[in-house]
Amino acid sequence: MSTLERIEHIKESGGWLDRYQHDSTGCRCRMTFSVYLPPQAAQGPVPAVYWLSGLTCTDDNFRTKAGAQRYAAELGLALVIPDTSPRGDGVPDEPERYDLGQGAGFYVNATQAPWSEHYQMYDYVARELPALVEAELPLIPGLKSISGHSMGGHGALICALKHPGAYRSVSAFAPICHPTVCGWGEGCFGAYLGDDREAWKAYDATELVAAGAEPIPLLIEQGTGDEFLPDQLYPQDLQTACNARGFPLTLRMRDDYDHSYHFVASFIGEHLAYHAAALSKG
């Protein structure tokens, strides 16, 4: 019996943009995610790019602002777009803060009360959601890549680094590259994971590379006009760690672009083409 409830079904760029809800076993609440199936899915299974969004976002931000579906239709890619955190009346939150609680799951498995009962976002995006999609949506059989923006860029990087071989490629827009030393990361990690900073390193791309993660090419897009670049994102730290290990990193600094979806929309076509090339290899 299907565990998915489809709540939207919209024709777009020759394919279909669907929205689903399901009861998550890990997050212990009703979760929402979107899927775009390109027109090529009418002939059979297609590879997928999983997209992880940033602080304050839901699945709706990317699918309405990035313009990605048009490129996905041209390239024959499915898009799988989860929410950024558990949600609901029984889910802990900090309503006065945008950077903790609902909308700010940070793609970690929380170990501290009251967050640990619901905030298991790492397992959700890396394990539970792909298993559900592959079981319930046979046109997306499991060949996948991953990308994301800001907090979601952080999530994409750690998913790829912690699961060698699970993704054919990874990319990120303005990712939080070294969360254990930035305000956003310290605030969320301290709440979700406790005071042991050594435990935080398991969810930090810079620390994972430095500790010996298996090499996978990293593609990062970063705007020089990003207001969060100086004190939250730290791509230079990730670059230093990669250089020290000979780890393949392409860091593209884009003059004057900011942190918004105007930046994402400007280069999402290039990123999807990058993933399509990786997914097409035997």
Quick: pLDDT tens for 144-174: 999 999 999 999 999 999 999 999 999 999 9
Give yes or no for residue 2 having a pLDDT over 80.
Answer: no
Q: Are 17 and 10 in contact (CB under 8 A)?
A: yes
Q: What is the pLDDT of residues 90-140, one digit of tens each?
A: 999 999 999 999 999 999 999 999 999 999 999 999 999 999 999 999 999
Amino acid at the residue 137: L
Domains of the chain: 5-280 (3.40.50.1820)
Residue 3 is predicted with a pLDDT of 84
Backbone angles phi, psi at 188, to 5 degrees: -75, -45
Active-site amino acid positions: 150, 226, 259
What is the model's pLDDT at position 168? Answer: 96
Position 28: which residue type? R
pLDDT confidence of residue 1: 42
Residue 276, pLDDT above cutoff 60: yes
pLDDT band, very low/low/confident/very high, at 281 (cuts 50, 70, 90): confident
The phi-psi region of residue 246 (left if phi > 0; otherwise alpha if psi is between -120 and 50; otherwise beta) is left
Contact of 101 with 92, CB cutoff 8 Å: yes
pLDDT, residue 280, reads 95
| pTM over cut 0.95 | yes
DSSP 72-125: HHHHT-EEEEE-SS--STTS---TT-SSSBTTB-TT-B--STTTTTT-BHHHII
pLDDT confidence tier of residue 282, bands split at 50, 70 and 90: low
**pLDDT tens, residue by residue, 208-262:** 999 999 999 999 999 999 999 999 999 999 999 999 999 999 999 999 999 999 9
Q: Which residues of 181-204 are buried (b: 16+ CB within 10 A; e: fewer)?
A: bbebbebbbebbbeeeeeebbbbb
Mean pLDDT of 186-200: 97
Instruction: Please check the confidence at residue 88 and state whether its pLDDT lies above 70.
Output: yes
Across the chain, mean pLDDT equals 97
